[in-house]
Each structure stands twice: as structure tokens, then as C-alpha cells.
Structure 1
Amino acid sequence: MRYLALAGVVGMLGVAFGGVSAAPVVITRDAPDLDRWMYPFNSSSVGTRPGASCFGALGQTELAGFTFDERDAQVLVGFDLSADVPADLCRYRITQATVRIAVTTDGAFVYDPTIDARETYFGEAMLPGGVADGDAGRPIEMFGVGYRNGFDAGSFVETSSFGPMIAWRVRNAFATDYASGVPRDVSNSLVDGLSVTAFAVGTTTVVSPGAVVPANTDFRFDLDVMNPDVDAYLRDAISGGKLRLAIASMFPAESGGGGGPGTGAYPTFYMKENIFGAGRRARLSLTIEPCIEGDVDCSGVVDVDDLNIVLSDWLGSGDGDANCDGITNVDDLNLVLGNWLSVG
């Protein structure tokens, strides 16, 4: 109640000085700083392949002593952000994050822009309770990247090893949905019983859903920046200066090898080493909008909610730290009161 009372006093005093906000930070890249095929049998051309495919290995619980991840072949793309993020960036909103990348394959797979229920994969995965898929094809999904065996976004490079062995649950870099801020491995979400939310699904305007996809078709991945897990992952990437993303799918792999039985109907993407990759390799567009000064919760207005956050976090180092100096104190209170009712 005392917080609301203080806000009322401020309102009666008519404090409104006009907030200050910086211009949006727009980061664009026409090529990745890192791209890599994360596939256990990719040992002869690590980080230098002109193309990288993504497919699944469902229903393979054991093959000659090895078991493959359900999301078997994954494609990693990475962008270094440190040079583009202002050193004094404090409170901000991520309003847009898009990755584009084109396929090299011609007529190899059918376009599906929709998420398929996990039960539609159960038949291929030899799990009970499967249902039919209501549309043709499988979606191409984008996730964050998690690490194991001592690696992180800074130490895992194009030439880093896939993992200690050819098996499932061992890859050093893996697709993650960053659920509740935890970089869990979603490579085996079916058998693990995980309900997974992708960061984005690949879409294109070149063909209609259900149609065969021609070569050089550009796919667009609009990351769901309104998803708190995606937002948290992107903020960690911005803070660390390295954005790493994984493209994955569960298209059936090629028959007679390559990860298990299947049709071979899956996409292959341009890598930056491809001599024909200009305008087709992975590209990034990321927009960061700094919040107005004093707008602690980035709601677009400096109001009682911001005041309450500051007072609740007093002498702490949490959300009430309006000026991002590491502690919530009188400077933050003054910043809120000095910009009271500012809109931006």
C-alpha cells in the first residue's frame, strides 16, 4: 500500500519530465560467422561442407551397438553480435529476430509450415498411441543450442568434435527449446516424453503447403520473441555476444544408411562455404528497442508498476535496477520519478 500511496503523491505533484529512449538497434548479417553440420558421421569435412542436411532417425533403438538421436542431423548457424550491441544497453525489448536460409535440394521434400503433433511421429518411432498426420510433409524447426562436455557458445567452433562417440545423447552441441531457462537437449523428445516448443518454423512464399520444394527456395524463420523462453535465450545471446541456433527436422533419413530407414526426402541447406551461397546462406535480422528511461518493465510507460518493482527490489540487484549499475537504490528511484508517466 505504501508503494501505491507514494505513486499517488507523485501523480498529484504532476511529475512528468519526458523519458529518453535510444534509437532501435538493428543487426543484420548476410552470412553466418559459424555454420556446421552436426551429424555423427561428418568427420572428413567438419565445418567446411558446402551444404548441410537435417533429418531424423526414428525407430532406431539399436544399430550395431549404436543408437542415433531422433533429431539426427542438425544444422548449426551462428552470428557474433558483440560489435553491434551498445556497451551501455540497459533495459530493452527484442521486437524481431529472423533467420533466412535457402535449400540446395531440388524436389527432395514437401513443404509443411505447421507444427505436427508429437503423436503423428509415434508410428515411425515405434511408440504406442500414434495418430495420422493431417497434412503432407514435416516442418523444419529452429531451436536454440545447448552444450555438454565442457563446451559453450564461446568454445564450440566449426571444427569442434561432434561428441565422444557415435551414439545418442552425446553430441557436444544440441537443439534446445530453453524451457524455463534450462538448455535441455530436445534431440530425443519423443522417447523422452518431452513437449517441445520450437523457436520458429521455416516458411516460404515460393510454394504452397503440400507442394514439392525446388532448389534455392528461401526459408524464413521468424523467432517467437513473445515466448518468454525464446526471449530469455536471445537476451543471453546478446549479453554473451554470440547467437547460436539449430535447424532440425524429423524427415525420414535415407534408406540403407545415413541414420536409418526412410525416404531420403529431407532438406539440405546452403553453408557459407558454398561458392553459390551468396544471398542463400544463413542471414540474420535482429531488432532491439531500448526502453525509455525509468520504464523498468519495458511496458511503454513509466508508472506505478515500475515504482513498485524498484521499491520491492530495494538494495537488490534484480529487476528494479533501472540504470543497470548492479544495485537498486535511490538512483533508480529518481530515474523512475524523473520520468513519471513518460510514454515511449
Structure 2
Amino acid sequence: MDRMNTHGGRRRLACLPLAALPFSALLFATPPCGAAASESLLHTNEHAEIQMYSYPAGSSNGAGSVRDRAPTFGAFSGVDSETGQSVFFPGSGADPSRRGSFIVASDTSADVPAGLAPARYQVESLRVTATLLGNLIYEPLGYVLPYDNTLDDHLALTTGGGDDPGRPIEMYGIGLQGDFETISFAAAADEAALQLGDARWRQYREGEAGYDPELPAGEQAIAPYPYFAVDALGRDAENSVAGGYSATEPSGETEQFTPAPMAIGKLYDDEGAEFEPGDYMRSGDVFVFEPNLSDPGVLDYVRGALSEGWLGFSFSSLHEAAGHDNEGAVPYPDFYLDDLDVGDNPDGAAPTIELVVSILDPLPGDYDGDGQVTTSDYDRWVEQFGTTGPEADGNGNGLVDAADFTVWRDHYTPASQAIAVPEPSGAQVLLIALATGAFCGWQHWLVSGRRR
């Protein structure tokens, strides 16, 4: 922002005794400067580094291997004899209600710089696709899979209410717990990073809560899943339909709830028209997932992942799987996966991720990197005053000083923040007064010296 006044000279810092003023009087009601953005960066990945199918019995199909297909379905415990409605299985950490699912994750670091404050990623567009393989859709037997483009309420799912024609394909984020702290694409094994082929379930280890010293290692109970579907509100969605274990609830348990997916898969014909609800789906149909980037939860998830150098999603549906009825012929979706050039689908119709993002310049005064100038940035300035920073060095001169307080003050916008203006402690007032006095003395000497 241009700090030149209408007379062509640079605006002077008023050297008033700060300790004699209320702190709010130090703030100018100046609007924040709009952060400039880089040119748009494109990340496309038609062969995502991680594509893994998850199912309790087979985990991720064995460590180090990923099969070429991934059906999605829910877990059912049978049929209610009175209502005739299929009953969803209350999930646990070892066997969730979203029993058949898959994840896709891509290394974005080569195209989008990692390690920046999440708020600096301006996500312009995001499109993810997944293609139906469809060989588990029993059309020759008269069984078909209808298209559904809306989220099913958990009450409708569990009570049989509503007239919904089918089940949607839902896209979530990837939540991590237990062993995993991030996602990695490095060849070397890292126990703290989810990598290709890492099993979704493992047994309790010695020393962990849940470990039974009376049992041999091979007979220990299964520990909760380390990665899971997380919705736009940050909730573990694995057992939302029927309740049960939750990785995100402090109690470790959740009641039934309707989750908030990152996106619902949509199908379009060759002319770009969306399928009608109830239309039959076929092998080769491409599901398109376009998250609502105006949703704060979606945006926070994408930005946080990009800051770590990756972007990934979990896909699931609540279809009834074959074998859950007497004839074993209930249709459910089956998607192409492609990894390691193995199986029946080498370099086939794998899931894709297409991302367009630009990088915002740092916002002046945003010393904590959260994308806004608030009192927490003032606190960071106080913490780093007199040091080299670097976070609170707003003018880039290599020292956190009174000039950096001015940068923060000039960009702080209390009208846009639902927070109180900070009132410094006595020590902080003295620190600011001394710093500003020294700064004003320097300015007076510099200006007076130039006028001689």
C-alpha cells in the first residue's frame, strides 16, 4: 500500500508519548492491503502416487501392493424383520460402517510450493474424478445401480424414509491418527507418515493402551484405524450412519449424524448434461467431484494439505454389497484404480486430481501467517521485539523494532475482527514507549540532518 501523502511527502510518524494514550488510540482505521497473488499454478495428476483400497479383511490389499479396483459399500448386520429395512452395523475402530472405501493422494510439492502459511494458498479450482469399472453391476440379471446426486440423511438411511433413488458417492478428506501425522511419498519408510501400501489396521503394540500382556503378539486386539474419512466440519465420518467409534470425538464415540462431505460425485453425459436421479449407471461412467471452495472447512482442509505438500481424498458410499442378501447379487459401485502398473488395469482410467492455485504475497502485519491481521500478530511482535524475528520483521530490515509495530498497526482492521483491541501490560507499554522514542529520535535526527 502506498504510504505517500497528498503533498508528495512520506507520512511522518507522530512522536507522541504512547504510555499516555489508550492503546486503541494507536490504531488507524486504515483498510487492509489486498495481498497480491502469483500467477496461477497448475497441478494435475493422472497417476496419483497413493491409491489404496481399504476393507477390514484385506486392509490395503497387503503391504506394498494396491489392487487395480476399489468397490465402495457400507456394513450391514442384516434386515429388520418388522420393517424389512437393512440395518447398518454400528461401527468400531476396527470395522467401520463405511467398510469398503479407497483413498487417493497426490504429491503437489513439485507444482505448488509447500511449507507456506495455509492462508497464502488461493485455491481457484479443484476437480477430482473417479471412473466406474462396473463389473459388479449385475445388469444381465436385472439388477441395476441408480444414480443419486444428493446426500442421504442418516435418519432416512436407517429408517427407510424418503424416496431417494439410490446412494451417492461421497468424497471426504483424509484424517490421520495413531501412527500417522502426515502423508509422504518418499521411498524410505517413515512410521509417522502414511505411505503407499500402509495397512489401515494393525494390532496393539506392547506399552499401548489396549495391549493385553496375556496374549501373544499375533492375537492382540486390533487398534483403531490410523486414517479415516474426515468431513468438512472436521468430524470422523466413518461411523456417522449408525454411530460407534470416532477418531475425532474426545469421548472416542459418536452418535448418528449426517456428515458434510467435501463433495458428492456427479455424472454427466457426452453433451455435458448431468444424469437424472435414478438413471442407470454403466461401466466407464466418470464421477466428477468439485468441492465447494467457499466452504471454510473445505478450504481449510485443502490449504492445510497443500502446506504439507500433498492433496488427498477418501471415497465411500453406503451401498449394500453382494453377499448381504440371499442371492448375493446386489449391485454396488466398483471403481478403477491404477498404481504400480499391476493388475488388469495398467495405466487405465485411474482417479485424477486437477488443481489450480495461486500464492498470495504475505499480508503486511500478519506475523502469525493465518491470513489476517489480528491481536495475535501484535502478541507475536511483542514476543519477538528486539530480535531478528523473522516472523514479526514487518519491514524486512532484519530487526523486530517499533517500525514493525507500525506495519501491524497500519494493517490491523478492528472493524473486520470480532475481537477486542489489546490493552498492553505496564511492561509492554514501557517497551513500546522506549522503542518508539528511540525510533522517533532516529527519525528526527535523520530528517533534521537532511534539512541542514
Normalized against structure 1, the TM-score is what? 0.74
Which protein shows a greater Rg? 2
Q: Determine which of 183, 188, 198 is the counterpart of 2:261.
A: 198
Q: Distance in 1 between matches of 2:375 and 2:323?
A: 63
Q: Determine which of 253, 266, 283 is the counterpart of 2:332.
A: 266
Instruction: Name 2:213's counterpart in structure 1.
Output: none
Query: Aligned in 2, Cα 1:264/1:32: closer, same or farther, shift over 3 Å?
Result: farther
Q: Determine which of 82, 87, 109 is the counterpart of 2:145.
A: 109
What amino acid is the match of 1:229? G
Instruction: Name 1:316's counterpart in structure 2.
Output: 380
Q: Indicate if the aligned counterparts of 1:294 and 1:335 stay in contact, CA closer than 8 A.
A: no
Deviates more, 1:325-334 or 1:185-194: 325-334
Query: Aligned in 2, Cα 1:140/1:291: closer, same or farther, shift over 3 Å?
Result: same
Q: Determine which of 276, 282, 304 is the counterpart of 2:351.
A: 282
**Is 2:77 aligned against 1:77?**
no
What amino acid is the match of 1:189? S
Instruction: Name 2:69's counterpart in structure 1.
Output: 51
Q: Determine which of 218, 221, 227 is the counterpart of 2:289.
A: 221
Deviations 1:165-206 (A, max 9, x none): 699983232111152xx4x42111122223310000000103
Q: Secondary structure at the match of 2:299?
A: helix
Deviations 1:258-296 (A, max 9, x none): xx9985321111111455464621111112233356478
Structure 1: stretches of 5+ with no match in the other structure: 123-129, 298-304, 318-323, 339-344
Q: Distance in 1 between matches of 2:222 and 2:278?
A: 31
Q: Indicate if the aligned counterparts of 1:68 and 1:167 stay in contact, CA closer than 8 A.
A: no
Instruction: Name 1:32's counterpart in structure 2.
Output: 48
Query: Aligned in 2, Cα 1:138/1:19: closer, same or farther, shift over 3 Å?
Result: closer
Query: Aligned in 2, Cα 1:334/1:177: closer, same or farther, shift over 3 Å?
Result: same
Instruction: Name 1:341's counterpart in structure 2.
Output: none
Query: Aligned in 2, Cα 1:336/1:275: closer, same or farther, shift over 3 Å?
Result: farther
Deviations 1:35-78 (A, max 9, x none): 01110122694332111111001346879x99842111111111
Q: Distance in 2 between matches of 1:99 and 1:289?
A: 18
What amino acid is the match of 1:316? R
Query: Aligned in 2, Cα 1:167/1:228: closer, same or farther, shift over 3 Å?
Result: farther
Q: Indicate if the aligned counterparts of 2:116 and 2:307 stay in contact, CA closer than 8 A.
A: no
Deviates more, 1:210-219 or 1:261-270: 261-270
Taking only aligned residues, the RMSD between alpha carbons, in angstroms, comes to: 3.9
Q: Percent identity?
A: 24
Query: Aligned in 2, Cα 1:87/1:147: closer, same or farther, shift over 3 Å?
Result: closer
**Is 2:58 aligned against 1:42?**
yes
Query: Aligned in 2, Cα 1:111/1:328: closer, same or farther, shift over 3 Å?
Result: farther
Q: Indicate if the aligned counterparts of 1:141 and 1:198 stay in contact, CA closer than 8 A.
A: yes
Q: Distance in 2 between matches of 1:40 and 1:185?
A: 17
Instruction: Name 1:174's counterpart in structure 2.
Output: 228
Q: Indicate if the aligned counterparts of 2:52 and 2:103 stay in contact, CA closer than 8 A.
A: yes
Q: Secondary structure at the match of 2:278?
A: coil
Q: Secondary structure at the match of 1:316?
A: helix
The alignment covers a number of residue pairs equal to 305
Q: Secondary structure at the match of 1:191?
A: coil
Query: Aligned in 2, Cα 1:44/1:251: closer, same or farther, shift over 3 Å?
Result: closer
Query: Aligned in 2, Cα 1:148/1:45: closer, same or farther, shift over 3 Å?
Result: same
Query: Aligned in 2, Cα 1:236/1:311: closer, same or farther, shift over 3 Å?
Result: closer
The structure with higher relative contact order (CA 8 Å, sep 6+) is 1
Q: Secondary structure at the match of 1:52?
A: strand
Q: Distance in 2 between matches of 1:312 and 1:67?
A: 41
Instruction: Name 2:391's counterpart in structure 1.
Output: 326
What amino acid is the match of 1:283? T
Deviations 1:295-318 (A, max 9, x none): 789xxxxxxx96xx256621428x
Q: Indicate if the aligned counterparts of 2:365 and 2:392 stay in contact, CA closer than 8 A.
A: no
